Amino acid sequence: MIKNILQFSHQLLADAVQVGETVIDATCGNGNDTIFLSNLVGDSGTVLAFDIQKQAIDSTKRRLIDEARQNVKLIHDGHERVTTYLLKEQKHGIAGAIFNLGYLPRSDKTIITKSESTLQAIQQILDYLKTNGVVVIVIYYGHEGGLEEKENVITFVKQLDQSAYHVLRYEFINQKNNPPFVVAIQKRKEKLNK
């Protein structure tokens, strides 16, 4: 069966991430992906979960308590500051990351992810990603400002060196009302410094 956007994004991560590894939820929102990642890496792994909204951090914290998950570090900060929270030893050791672009469901729809910070975060995470690690970006763009972010992300990922990264776009093309779609980046190898 064809997987929906959520199922497909989670399958990509499940294929790349092992128990005990470190992963990033760049937009923890209401905690759905954070819980998934927490279970994926197991008690010996770590999830760094970012959000700029306290409401999202609080909502995710409640979910983690309900699910008795203790391997998540909640970070009330913008994802563009991800390297502030990573150690040098983690370079080329991050197994995966997920972004849900747009706004926090059931909240202030004027607070949205924006191209500048999103692209900074993606680039930083790619620099820390392990070989065969994946960055999954779920792009919601049916809101004001969403189309600009979508176009900027697509432009950025199309320019990634094909010898270093695989880039995939997964979408349903017969759905109405700007359905979300997935962009996935898999690191093939480390870039050589020239």
Please tell me the predicted confidence (pLDDT) of residue 110.
77
Does 88 score more than 80 pLDDT?
yes
| Helix/strand/coil percentages in the chain, nearest 5 | 35, 25, 35
* CATH class belonging to 5-187: alpha beta
pLDDT tens digits along 108-131? 777 888 999 999 999 999 999 999
| Mean pLDDT over the full length of the chain | 93
Q: CA-to-CA distance for 194 and 190, rounded, in angstroms? A: 12
Does 194 score more than 50 pLDDT?
no
Three-state SS at 63:
helix
Please tell me the predicted confidence (pLDDT) of residue 14.
98
Please tell me the predicted confidence (pLDDT) of residue 146.
87
Three-state SS at 100:
strand
The strand pair at 181-187 and 72-76 is best described as unpaired
pLDDT tens digits along 134-192? 999 999 998 888 899 999 999 999 999 999 999 999 999 999 989 999 999 999 976 55
Residue 90 burial (CB count, 10 A): 15
Does 68 score more than 50 pLDDT?
yes
Which parts of 85-164 are beta strand (E)? Answer: 94-101, 129-139
Measured CA distances, 134 to 26, 53, 68, 78, 154 (Å):
13, 25, 26, 20, 16
Section 7-32 average pLDDT? 97
Strand order in the sheet with 46-51: 72-76, 46-51, 22-25, 94-101, 129-139, 181-187, 165-170
pLDDT tens digits along 40-58? 999 999 999 999 999 999 9
Q: CA-to-CA distance for 74 and 92, rounded, in angstroms? A: 22
Q: CA-to-CA distance for 159 and 13, rounded, in angstroms? A: 23
